[in-house]
């Protein structure tokens, strides 16, 4: 017997958190009975589980990495008809969804999966999996400003965790510089807001690393499946950081 939300997530319905919302909203039935209680345990081999009237089924687990282009929505569909990340996954028949988000104006490494447990592990606030970005900013931030980012900086939603930062490139003729920044949180537009807080607006932003998984060699707009080794490293890293921060 397993918790209902865990079974739903494992079946690729959505992330664990979203599955909990589906249960609370009354969208889930077990053997024809609506279930809204958290922690309800079921046997997926015996019980008939439906979401919005449709029975769940076990799907082959898919783990992919996409080089998301700028100007693409991190979503399965968009009411305004803009390009979404699923448009860049030809041949993937399973319904995968993003692990975390990348802003419309941000490009780079985006993980997608139909494994809700995996997605929840990597995005849970207590797990602190490091993510590295290349931020091209207006001007050249002084070393003392970068030290502020390293120590953690006050934003409107609280203090950020310490970040790792280093210069990648400086173009004096364009009055811009590129800085590698590694953060361990996933707040909305966090990197952009951190640089704005030290007076340097982000012009371009690209995520190049998620845990031990690196974007290198994957062309913009293309995807590839993660290797078993990469999946294992991500799970281990999330589990390790969870223990460290608890």
Same domain as 112, residue 85:
yes
User: What CATH number is attached to the domain comprising 229?
Assistant: 3.30.70.580
Same domain as 102, residue 87:
yes
Provide the number of structural domains found in the chain: 3
Give 10-residue mean pLDDT values along the chain (246 residues): 87 86 95 93 88 85 96 87 93 88 95 89 84 96 93 93 93 92 91 96 97 95 97 90 48
Give the active site residues. Answer: 103
Same domain as 183, residue 142:
yes
In this predicted structure, what is the pLDDT of residue 241? Answer: 57
Same domain as 135, residue 182:
yes
Can you give the chain as a three-state secondary structure string? Answer: CEEHHHHHHHCCCCCHHHHHHHHHCCCEEECCEECCCCCCEECCCCCCEEECCEECCCCCCCEEEEEECCCCECCCCCCCCCCEHHHHCCCCCCCCEECCCCCCCCEEEEEEECCHHHHHHHHCCCCCCCEEEEEEEECCCCHHHHHHHHHCCEECCEECCCCEEEEEEEEHHHCEEEEEEEECCCCCCHHHHHHHHCCCCEEEEEEEEECCEECCCCCCCCEEECCHHHHHHHHHHHHHHHHHCC
Same domain as 206, residue 217:
no
In this predicted structure, what is the pLDDT of residue 240? Answer: 77
Q: Tell me the residue range of the domain where 109 lies.
A: 63-125+213-244
In this predicted structure, what is the pLDDT of residue 245? Answer: 46
Same domain as 67, residue 43:
no
In this predicted structure, what is the pLDDT of residue 246? Answer: 43
Same domain as 135, residue 121:
no
User: What CATH number is attached to the domain comprising 37?
Assistant: 3.10.290.10
User: What CATH number is attached to the domain comprising 155?
Assistant: 3.30.70.1560
Same domain as 96, residue 73:
yes
Give the predicted TM-score (pTM) of the model: 0.77
Same domain as 192, residue 159:
yes
Same domain as 186, residue 70:
no
């Amino acid at each position: 017997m397993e918790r209902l939300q865990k079974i739903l997530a494992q079946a690729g319905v959505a992330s664990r958190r979203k599955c909990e919302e589906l249960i609370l909203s009354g969208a889930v039935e077990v053997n024809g009975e609506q279930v809204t209680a958290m922690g309800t345990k079921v046997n997926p081999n015996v019980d008939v589980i439906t979401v919005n009237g449709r029975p769940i089924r076990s799907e082959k687990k898919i783990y992919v990495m996409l080089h998301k282009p700028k100007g693409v929505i991190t979503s399965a569909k968009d009411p305004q008809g803009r390009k979404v990340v699923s448009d860049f996954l030809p041949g993937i028949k399973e319904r995968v969804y993003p692990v975390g988000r990348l802003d419309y104006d941000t490009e780079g490494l985006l993980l997608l999966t139909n494994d809700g447990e995996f997605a929840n592990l990597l995005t849970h606030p207590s797990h602190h999996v490091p993510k590295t970005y290349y931020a091209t900013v207006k001007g050249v931030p002084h070393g003392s400003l970068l030290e502020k980012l390293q120590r953690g900086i006050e934003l409107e939603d609280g203090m950020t965790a310490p970040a790792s930062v280093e210069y990648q490139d400086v173009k004096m003729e364009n009055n811009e510089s590129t800085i590698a920044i590694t953060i361990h949180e996933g707040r909305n537009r966090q990197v952009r807001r951190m640089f704005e807080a030290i007076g340097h607006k982000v012009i371009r932003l690209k995520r190049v690393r998620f845990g031990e998984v690196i974007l290198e060699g994957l062309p913009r707009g293309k995807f590839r499946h993660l290797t078993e080794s990469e999946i294992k490293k991500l799970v281990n890293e999330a589990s390790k950081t969870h223990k460290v921060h608890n």
